[in-house]
Structure 1
Amino acid sequence: MFSIGDFARLGRVSVRMLRHYDALGLLRPARVDQATGYRYYEAGQLSRLNRLLALKDLGLSLHEVGQILEEKVGLDELRGMLRLRQAELEAQVADDTARLARVEARLRMIETEGVMPADVVIKSVPAIRLAELSDTAESYESSKIGPVVQALYADLTKRLGEAGLVITGPAVAHYEPVPEGVRVHAGAPVNMEPGKSYDFDVVDLPAIEQAATIIHHGPMDDVSSTYGQLARWMEDNGHRSSGVAREVYLKYGDGDPATWVTELQEAVTRPA
């Protein structure tokens, strides 16, 4: 047998907690010395302690835990309950992590309000032919756009490899509003044989006579702050958007996301 101190150490709980479980009738000592009142436990009781703690971690009250323990829940049933709770907690953590990222991105946008925009360059953008795949995102939110773009490029890269084609320049994404949300177009320039059919679209993006461009550094999760800077610069300098926007991934997808570089291009006109 083990003293309450040794049993607490082996079970990774406190002595105070074991006394509490004893008082509630959840885990009685195997023996109590009538002369000293010392509690003693058997090694086999670690199994009940582990079940008690596992059920408690599921979010059950101690009263509910006691009822389940008295029903002598089986190992398979307990394992199933824990797996389900594990999946729920993982989903909750993922949701909270994504929410935290959105809050941080919005905070960075707020902190850059009133700050002079980074260098914006007005330039012409040549026409370009792209191999392209498209899909629809729910909205322009980064959390909605990002997974769609990433899946499209993964699929496009696979198809280009199977076709024996090599990407010859930075990938280009562009968007269009549709009733269901946003149509996402993920493209990459490649050397394609004229007239040959492929399992992806071949599109020709027209040249842009005047584009207001700005460089975004880091992951696209917080690209909203850079778009905000571009919008303020356009307004301050009398430029209007013509509704054509592209993202050129100069360095993206490899290495530390903090080192990624994306050029944002917004077609603009100046008022007469």
Structure 2
Amino acid sequence: MFTIGEFARHGRVSARMLRHYDAIGLLRPDRIDPATGYRYYGAAQLARLNRVIALKDLGFTLQQVRAVVDDQVDADELRGMLRLRRAELEAAMTAAAARLTQVEARLRSIESEGHMPENDVQIKRVPAVRVAEVTATAPGYQPQDISPVVGPLYEKLFPLLATAGVRPTGPGIARYEDGPDGDGSVVVHAGVTVDAPAGPLGDTGVTVVELPAFEAATIVHRGSMDHVLATEQILARWIEDHGRRPAGYSREVSLECPEDREMWVTELQLPLVG
């Protein structure tokens, strides 16, 4: 038999936790000395403690844990509970990864403050271009809002162009505009340069549009578009310092787009007020 302190050390938990588990009937001592009130535990109880801690770490409530370890839950129900918890954990991991990406983007932006490479920004006249594009709506303009929308759009676009017999003749061009409802949503246009008449491409859902020429402040972003924030803010600071005003969202022109997203090269073209 072990004292509560000894059992706590063997189970890698605190004595306070064991007292709480005793109080709620989750893990009672094997014996309590009637004279001193000291709790004593047997080695066989480590198995129950291990199950309690494992289920608790999975996010189950102590009430649910008690039902499982007391065999009040059959195997099918337990499997269902575990599958549900797995789905919840996977969703939490996805959300945490997205938050980490946001933090990294903000950190890069902060680190770039005061180190603005002005020679990276160029003013140029962007010629008119004809693109075939598909559209969808993103909930906002943050990278974590845009990436899940623009990626699938391009995956959809190229097979549709192949079906229509239209071949790309230049780079991909993603452009954005405010959603019609004024709720902060953004209309995403994922396109690629083509040599085809303007208008719908049959019933494919692809539309060929003529984008007019415009004056733009441009900068090249290298790496995943998840980290584009710092580059965009370099561009924004340059525009303010030079007394210019933006006229909408930046276009994103894909100059190099290998499988490794960190090797992407993208030109940002921010339209300027004349």
- State the TM-score bracket (shorter-chain normalisation): 0.7 to 0.9
Q: Please state how far the C-alpha of 1:53 moved relative to its aligned partner.
A: 5.6
Q: TM-score, structure 1 length as denominator? A: 0.76
The alignment partner of 1:173 has SS state of strand
Identity of aligned residues (%): 48
> Residue in 1 aligned with 2:33?
none
> Residue in 2 aligned with 1:187?
191
Question: Does the 8 Å CA contact 2:11/2:49 hold for their aligned counterparts?
Answer: no
The answer to whether residue 204 in structure 2 is matched with residue 203 in structure 1 is: no
Q: Please state how far the C-alpha of 1:229 moved relative to its aligned partner.
A: 0.8
Q: Please state how far the C-alpha of 1:164 moved relative to its aligned partner.
A: 2.8
Distance 1:58 1:249 in 2: 43
What does residue range 102-251 of structure 1 map to in structure 2 within 5 Å? 102-118=102-118, 119-180=120-181, 181-192=185-196, 197-199=202-204, 200-208=206-214, 210-243=215-248, 245-251=250-256
Q: TM-score, structure 2 length as denominator? A: 0.76
Question: Does the 8 Å CA contact 1:131/1:202 hold for their aligned counterparts?
Answer: yes
Residue 234 and residue 74 in structure 1: after superposition, are their counterparts in 2 closer, same or farther (change >3 A)? same
Q: How many residues align?
A: 247
AA paired with 1:132? E
Q: Please state how far the C-alpha of 1:197 moved relative to its aligned partner.
A: 3.0
From 252, 258, 262, the counterpart of 1:258: 262
Give ranges in structure 2 of 5+ residues lacking alignment. Answer: 1-8, 31-39
Distance 2:151 2:198 in 1: 28
Distance 2:178 2:77 in 1: 49
Distance 2:41 2:235 in 1: 73
Distance 1:169 1:238 in 2: 33
AA paired with 2:103? V
The alignment partner of 2:169 has SS state of coil
The alignment partner of 1:179 has SS state of coil
Distance 2:54 2:41 in 1: 27
Distance 1:58 1:239 in 2: 54
CA-to-aligned-CA distance 1:22-58 (integer Å, 9 cap, x gap): x9685999xxxxxxx99786xxx97x78865653333
Question: Does the 8 Å CA contact 1:117/1:232 hold for their aligned counterparts?
Answer: no
The answer to whether residue 80 in structure 2 is matched with residue 98 in structure 1 is: no
> Residue in 1 aligned with 2:76?
76
> Residue in 1 aligned with 2:4?
none
The alignment partner of 1:157 has SS state of helix
Q: Please state how far the C-alpha of 1:123 moved relative to its aligned partner.
A: 1.5
Question: Does the 8 Å CA contact 2:247/2:272 hold for their aligned counterparts?
Answer: yes
Question: Does the 8 Å CA contact 1:170/1:248 hold for their aligned counterparts?
Answer: yes
Q: Please state how far the C-alpha of 1:70 moved relative to its aligned partner.
A: 2.4
AA paired with 2:92? Q
Give ranges in structure 1 of 5+ residues lacking alignment. Answer: 1-13, 30-36
Distance 2:197 2:101 in 1: 43
Q: What do you get for the CA RMSD once the two structures are aligned? A: 3.4
The alignment partner of 1:241 has SS state of coil
Residue 70 and residue 241 in structure 1: after superposition, are their counterparts in 2 closer, same or farther (change >3 A)? closer
CA-to-aligned-CA distance 1:143-185 (integer Å, 9 cap, x gap): 1111111121111112112223222211001111123321111
The alignment partner of 2:115 has SS state of coil
CA-to-aligned-CA distance 1:177-215 (integer Å, 9 cap, x gap): 12332111111112336786352111000112x221100
